[in-house]
Structure 1
Amino acid sequence: MSVLEFQLSDLSFAIDISVGHLMHFTVVEEGRLLSPLHRAPWVDDPDAVFEETTPANVRRLSGDFFCAPFGRNDVEPGPTHGWPANSAWSHSGTEESEDRLTAVFTLERTVMGATVEKRLTLRAGHPFLYQEHRLSGGEGAISVAHHVMVRMEAGGRLAVSPKAFACTPDEALEPDAARGRSILAYPAEASDLRSFPLADGDTADLGQFPPGEFHEDFVTLVEAPTDGPGAAPGWSVVSRNTEQDRVLVLKNAAELPVTMLWMSNGGRDYAPWSGRHTGVLGIEDGRASGAGHADSVRQNRLNARGFPTAYALSEDHCVSIRQAIGACSMDENEGDVADLSTASGCVTLRFVTGREKTLRFDEEFLAGA
């Protein structure tokens, strides 16, 4: 059985240990089931067709997975997004108490010689899944990222923590019109996320999803500089129109200085995508260059401007990467999200209407405490 399920009070998650993907994460709020994560339509289709070169992370595409390296795997042999997203994990054990559950998993392969451990934690009363990945030992440098995916039946809004700028890579995700299409300009950069260049000369609001029809696009949002470890966390909040809920993704902005957005809205015509993968927004918090592992570990346009794109590995060192995914209902009277802050064991959402919503949250987790 490759799928393991865990539950604590009104929270649950399932993980596909054949590839380390979160299949689902659910929160019950006042009798309503919130399920914020996406699962590709072909995963449960026994008749799904794949191109021979399709990696396991696409064949089993679900919810969220940990990438090491992120994107192109061009330093040591391995599939796109690395072995943590494409190969088996072992369940090392579960730590349980009345108000906390932590499931621990170990990757059955190494990454640049490092052992990789996954720790997934639920806390009673906290509408969040706390994730930690530990890379112990190894040699060289590795880029990393999470790969959270949210699907919107009829679009939604994205609010994010302050960013320095947004940029696209040198080449579009789908440059071959015979296989798919992209609509953003490549390469391009903008400091105003509400006015990002499109290929046709117009602009798009990156806070509005989707920004167009039948497209596959990728853009990197770079965190505004912080004032040190005590600074506010980096965050993304997706407000889904039809689903009437909000999906929260929080990180330590100093550790993971970029949030890469993958917009998958029917822009790929080849199997297994076949134009049916629509309304999906990937929120990929990382320390990485979107151009792949080799680019992440050499000088690139991000680290040249002071934003790190890789972690150094060493025999006697452990790298810890932490992130949290949460969900809450959306009241139509709240309006758009204006800000998010963490303090005193809570996340506070502030809306343009002046209203607020508070959720229980362990803010010390992101700081590594």
Structure 2
Amino acid sequence: MPQTWSLDWSHGQVTVHAGAAALGRTRFRLEDGRFVEPFHEAPWITAGEKVEPGLENLRGDWPCLPFGRLYSSDDPLIGAWRGLVDASLPDSGHPLGPSDHLLHGHSAAAEWSLVSRTQDAITLGLDYPSDSPIERITRTIRPIDGQAELDVSVEIRARHRCVRPFGFHPNFALRGKPGSFRIEPGPYRFGLSHPIAEAAARAEPDRRFTTLADVAVKSGGSERFDRLPFADDREDIMQLCGIEGGVHLIDEHDRVAWDLSWDTTKLPSCLLWMSNRGRKFPPWNGRHLCVGVEPVASAFDFGSVIAASDNPIAQSGVRTAITIEPGMPLTLGYRIRGHALGPN
């Protein structure tokens, strides 16, 4: 049985897994006395099915360094993005190592170790392979006493100067009827749909938008992408670029609102992964339903080369990677807070 560590506080309980340092079952006690669990857990975890590294811990949230995976000419990118798959990583980015090729990086595939566990926080640590410019990453989960609230942070140390995409990966469960989960982001400069010719996606690829309530779709016209789950099966990804403050989420099924906030000067975008039973191949098998609300410095999920390149998002003045210097640890984090909604 994979190792886990749990912590109780005045307003809930949090469990952290050694695998990917992923948040597991996490309960928040709201001001009306109810306990709610916001996070998703992939169906293959419950079923005990064996899946590839990077997917076996698809639950709650985990840190992704580097975020995404390396795309190639075999992937159906479109427009200006397609010409970037064969780009060279800038000299300042540091050459790629084997761990850069993993889905969401070494942090998502490895078993982490306990650094400390106190009544206030759990800290896990992970050493990166010796051929990686990343030396070590530590992750701290700190509940806020007296509040239905968690602080989640990482500290990243580098052996060599490097430029890599990074993201947190909070995944929220969608338990209600279509449209019962609302996404209300803070102000952002522009939104962009995934620039991939993906059959399971409904949005027109590589299209800018100003509001999730009006996004162009492939069938013509536009639709709302701010109210989930969708009634039809689909798989869509949106990036909210240059976001400020964070995202407000309203779950009418569980009668709870969630505020997800972070330092957007460090992680200037929010990636929205709308996984709505659209992937029909294993291990997804048309049964996966959640929304990832992901604070990132990344260009979608396109990995280190495209993130460090002069890609269309970076050209618009929104950073798509972080820079880590030796001897200068970088700290990144987010906070999640729950609020009870009144009766219907």
Query: TM tier, shorter chain?
Result: 0.7 to 0.9
Task: Work out which of the residue numbers 141, 144, 150 in structure 1 matches 2:163.
Answer: 141
Output the CA distance in 1 between the equivalents of 2:117 and 2:267: 27
Structure 2: unaligned runs, 5 residues or longer = 72-95
Which residue type is aligned with residue 152 of structure 1? L
Matches within 5 A, 1:1-369: 1-29=2-30, 30-46=32-48, 48=49, 50=51, 54=52, 56-73=53-70, 75-78=96-99, 79-96=102-119, 101-110=120-129, 112-139=133-160, 140-153=162-175, 154=177, 155-172=180-197, 174-175=198-199, 181-224=200-243, 234-278=245-289, 280-290=290-300, 291-332=302-343
| Superposition deviation, residue 212 in structure 1 | 4.9
CA contact (8 A) 1:145 1:286 kept: yes
Which has the larger helix fraction?
2
2:315 is paired with a residue whose SS is helix
CA contact (8 A) 2:41 2:60 kept: yes
Output the CA distance in 2 between the equivalents of 1:45 and 1:197: 37
Structure 1: unaligned runs, 5 residues or longer = 176-180, 225-232, 334-369
Normalising by structure 1, report the TM-score. 0.79
Normalising by structure 2, report the TM-score. 0.85
Output the CA distance in 1 between the equivalents of 2:211 and 2:9: 41
CA offset digits 1:186-242 (Å, max 9, x no partner): 121112332111111121223222345100111101125xxxxxxxx5211221121
Output the CA distance in 1 between the equivalents of 2:283 and 2:339: 32
| Superposition deviation, residue 332 in structure 1 | 4.6
Return structure 1 stretches of 4+ with deviation > 4 angstroms: none
Output the CA distance in 2 between the equivalents of 1:314 and 1:10: 38
CA offset digits 1:8-65 (Å, max 9, x no partner): 222211111122111122111233111111111110213x364xxx3x2212210111
1:60 is paired with a residue whose SS is coil
CA contact (8 A) 2:10 2:147 kept: no
Over aligned residues, Cα RMSD in angstroms? 1.8
Task: Give the number of equivalent residue pairs.
Answer: 309
Q: Percent same amino acid at aligned positions?
A: 20
CA contact (8 A) 2:12 2:35 kept: no
2:125 is paired with a residue whose SS is strand
2:55 is paired with a residue whose SS is helix
Output the CA distance in 2 between the equivalents of 1:316 and 1:124: 33
